Amino acid sequence: MEKFGIPASLLPGKAYINGAWVDGKAGQTFGVRNPASGELLATIPCLGAVETEEAIGAAYQAFQSWKETTAKERSAILLKWSQLLMANQENLAKIITLENGKPLKESRVEVAFSASFFEWYSEEAKRTYGDVIPTPVKSRRLVLIKQPIGVAGLITPWNFPAGMLARKVSAALAAGCTAVMKPAEDTPLTALAMTKLGEEAGLPAGVLNIIPCSRENAASVGKVLCESQLVAAISFTGSSVVGKILLAQSASTVKKVSLELGGNAPFIVFNSANLDQAVKATVGAKYRACGQACRSPNRILIQDEIYHEFCSRFAEEVKKLVVGDGMKEGTTQGPLINERGLQKVQRHVEDALQHGGKLLVGGNPHFLGGTFFEPTVISEVSNKAIVFTEETFGPLAALVKFKTEDEAVAIANNSRHGLAGYFYSQDVSQAWRVAEQLEVGMVGINEVDISMAPMAFGGVKESGIGREGSKYGLDEYMELKFLCFGGI
């Protein structure tokens, strides 16, 4: 990675436990590869259950002093960390692109997005207010206070390796918790680089511990985090299948669990919509990160009067996308993260066409080879196609025609997932009705860029439990304690 000018200080190449950069006790390692080229980027320690227990112990010990720090002290460290992220934005963006594959332009945005959470929670750390309750008994005084819950086990995905670390770590540390984090096996280098900057910002030993591991060790590491009696909270972002496993494993110790799981986002375009805005927004939302985003539109519903015009204009815009190595200027879509992701997209495309869909753009693996896939648009998609029930997580846009508002809402809500939903309409009454009726945790109304530090990110149904970001994100890492003063 030296050829890209990334300083060695951001590439520690080791795990991080109790303030020290360490190798695994068994000496195991695993490779991190560039999905665009297959090039080996780094070989790093592959940790397991033993090291995870050690990290939990370090975090538990550090919690005894970290919880006693003032909000102002924690705030100063988080703010410094935010500033260091922005000072190293270009190098961090290169690391993200090299191990994740997304265009460098998107990676720069992700770094800024990440820094915004450390800044936000540097401020919110000072606002963990309790409450005073009017007493029904004259001799008593009733008070509620908030306290940090303890050690948090954090498990992050590969699609936004910086953003997901930032969203979890900043809130946990601001609340006064310590953390043990397992980054995704495909993208651990970003987490290690960010932790290096956290160390520079003044993180005490043991407050944050990073446990990189291979896919083979991921289940055992996760199980230790979920079943340890020293871990008080689990926060996971990833698939619904894995989330359910972690939820079951956490039940034995009755942990506080926060899950941000899969999505099947509907994107509705009503007849009254500004078509120019709707087309542009849909393309941006669908193909960002090569479609590998939990809030990416999975089912695009267009009302009958504008259906054919929308399909035509949408397809023309998609044809303008440039597929290639994310490090190359002008690239707008990089590769899928791995071969499994490619196979899933192929399966969804083939199934949609078998059920009567009409191919408008793409539909095949890209001539660049590897895990590159053509930006794909299919119209006339049947509700029997698996794209209706299963998140694609790739560059496939499934276009569906509907007639009435009620029909659109019914289609949108016909899913066991409910993370995000979007719609475009110039009818104010309709906007209120549809926003309230969509069974999702987040709604974009004439807007797709809905993820930001001040908002509460999370879903309903099988899309998760709890919220990240906003003032409510702190609640995942705090306990509410009631104090009753008598004899007054």
Mapping DSSP onto H, E and C, the string for the chain reads CHHHCCCHHHCCCCEEECCEEECCCCCCEEEEECCCCCCEEEEEECCCHHHHHHHHHHHHHHHHHHCCCCHHHHHHHHHHHHHHHHHCHHHHHHHHHHHHCCCHHHHHHHHHHHHHHHHHHHHHHHHCCCEEECCCCCCCEEEEEEEECCEEEEECCCCCHHHHHHHHHHHHHHHCCEEEEECCCCCHHHHHHHHHHHHHHCCCCCCEEECCCCHHHHHHHHHHHHHCCCEEEEEEECCHHHHHHHHHHHHHHCCEEEEECCCCEEEEECCCCCHHHHHHHHHHHHHHHHHCCCCCEEEEEEEHHHHHHHHHHHHHHHCCCCECCCCCCCCCECCCCCHHHHHHHHHHHHHHHHCCCEEEECCCECCCCCCCECCEEEECCCCCCHHHCCCCCCCEEEEEEECCHHHHHHHHHCCCEECEEEEECCCHHHHHHHHHHCCCCEEEECCCCCCCCCCCECCEECCEECCECCHHHHHHHEEEEEEEECCC
Give which of 315, 333, 335 is closest to 378, Cα–Cα: 315
Q: How far is the C-alpha of 359 from the C-alpha of 398, rounded, in Å?
A: 10
The dihedral through the CA atoms of 101, 457, 112, 10 has a sign that is negative
Residue 433 to residues 142, 241, 327, 430, 438, Cα–Cα distance (Å): 40, 32, 43, 5, 9
**Which of the residues are catalytic?**
260, 294
- 118 φ/ψ sector (left φ>0, alpha ψ -120 to 50, else beta): alpha
Give which of 404, 348, 354, 401 is closest to 376, Cα–Cα: 348
Q: Are 241 and 69 in contact (CB under 8 A)?
A: no
Question: In terms of C-beta density within 10 A (0-12 exposed, 13-18 middle, 19 or more buried), how is residue 442 classed?
Answer: buried
